[in-house]
């Protein structure tokens, strides 16, 4: 990922990332896990008026915090896991139109918390029934 900074015209100023954000980026590039970010783009609607989406994907690195595994589940029970991830500050994440794939499992974004160093994202397992 990259960022841009500079002054393009009066009143249009993009800020340069903080020193801590740049150090975090270097650290996550060295030690982070590779994940895939899917961004949903509306492309139209079907006959029933439901929006049709196309997906654009990109790979990124993040620090992943998984919840402890619960081994007391019943056979055939579907476990919905939650994951917390730390991305770089300028990661293209949105609560409504972003999905993240971790360890081959797709997660839906349920919370995004941005600060000057990193972006903390709460994810919940997305399951398609059908």
Q: Which residues pair with residue 101 across a beta bridge? A: 36, 106
Three-state SS letters, 50-71: CEEEEEEEEEEEEEEEECCCCC
Query: Average model confidence (pLDDT) for the chain?
Result: 82
Cβ contact 24:84 at 8 Å? no
| Domain of 27, in residue numbers | 18-70+78-125
Interval 102-128 mean pLDDT? 89
- The CATH number of the domain holding residue 39 is 2.40.10.270
Contacts of 46 (CB under 8 A, 6+ apart): 52
113 part of a folded domain: yes
State the DSSP code for 79.
P
CA dihedral 70, 74, 75, 79 (to 10 degrees): -50
pTM, whole model, 2 decimals?
A: 0.74
Q: How do residues 35-48 score in pLDDT, each as one tens digit?
A: 999 999 989 898 99
30 part of a folded domain: yes
């Amino acid at each position: 990922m990259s960022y841009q900074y500079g002054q393009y015209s009066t009143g249009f100023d993009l800020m340069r990332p903080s020193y801590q954000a740049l150090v975090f980026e270097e650290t996550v590039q060295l030690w982070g896990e590779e994940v895939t970010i899917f961004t949903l783009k509306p492309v139209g609607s079907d006959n029933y008026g439901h929006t049709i989406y196309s997906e654009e994907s990109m790979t990124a690195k993040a620090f992943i915090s998984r919840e402890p595994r619960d081994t007391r589940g019943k056979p055939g029970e579907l476990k919905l896991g939650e994951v917390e991830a730390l991305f770089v500050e300028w990661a293209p994440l949105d609560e409504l139109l972003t999905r993240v794939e971790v360890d081959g499992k797709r997660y839906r974004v349920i919370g995004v918390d941005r600060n000057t160093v990193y972006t903390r994202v709460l994810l919940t397992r997305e399951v398609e029934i059908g």
